[in-house]
Amino acid sequence: MSAHTLPGDIERSSLAIIAAELAQRGVAVPPENDAVVRRVIHATADFDYAANLRFTPGAAAKGAAALAAGCAIVTDTNMALAGVSKTALAKLGGAAYCYMADPAVAAAAKAAGTTRAVAAMRHAAAAHPHAVFAVGNAPTALFALCDAMEQGAFRPALIVGVPVGFVNVVESKQRLLEVCGRLGVPAIAALGRKGGSSVAAAICNALLYTAAGQLDPAARGW
């Protein structure tokens, strides 16, 4: 059997390749952000994320600390929810939620004349005001979270803002970083058009594995 057949060996070798290529490109990722950047590149095979991921001061450490204390995760899509490590969450006593398919959220969106993403974030902000929020698809979700922070006492542990696309995507990330920077809320964002549910899940998993002491796949039983 090849040395690169088992999942743990594949992941370990992939992360080593990523580290080597970053060095070859002359890219020095701050140590506190390294796990997140490498996990995102691992999920996407896209080295642009080494340059376009932005962190408010201490965001990765604060997010990992919150998760270590059992903080919940809220995602904007069921795809991102599916990608979050449930075993790491369970080890830390946490849980993950997505309200996009909730009938009450659909009814609220219809009544308010807004998107389900907005209604889902409004509901989640009230239900989980101190959670980690991970947005990989809907820029309207980021705008809703920014509005909630500016209008009240909503102060999440961290907001991951990595929606992908062409309409309002760049603007939503810029607003997120501005609002979070002004209000002192930790944030991680991918500047530009790139992102997606897989990126949102990868960032959450990097923080979960950091918090659970599972960055090496051997610690996850791989």
Give the residue numbers marked as catalytic: 42
Instruction: Report the distance separating Cα 89 and Cα 222, nearest Å.
Output: 17
- Terminal-residue alpha carbon distance, the chain: 16
H or E segment and range at residue 75: strand 73-75
Residue with tokens 């398919």: 101
Instruction: Report the distance separating Cα 58 and Cα 54, nearest Å.
Output: 11
Q: Could you tell me whether strands 73-75 and 132-135 are parallel, antiparallel, or unpaired per DSSP bridges?
A: parallel
Instruction: Report the distance separating Cα 18 and Cα 30, nearest Å.
Output: 15
**Which of 150, 128, 160 lies closest to 40 in space, CA to CA?**
160
Instruction: Report the distance separating Cα 66 and Cα 150, nearest Å.
Output: 22
Residue with tokens 């005001």: 129
Q: Which two tokens stand for residue 169?
A: 């995507």
> Helices 34-44 and 7-24, interaxial angle, to 10°?
110
Q: Could you tell me whether strands 187-190 and 53-55 are parallel, antiparallel, or unpaired per DSSP bridges?
A: antiparallel
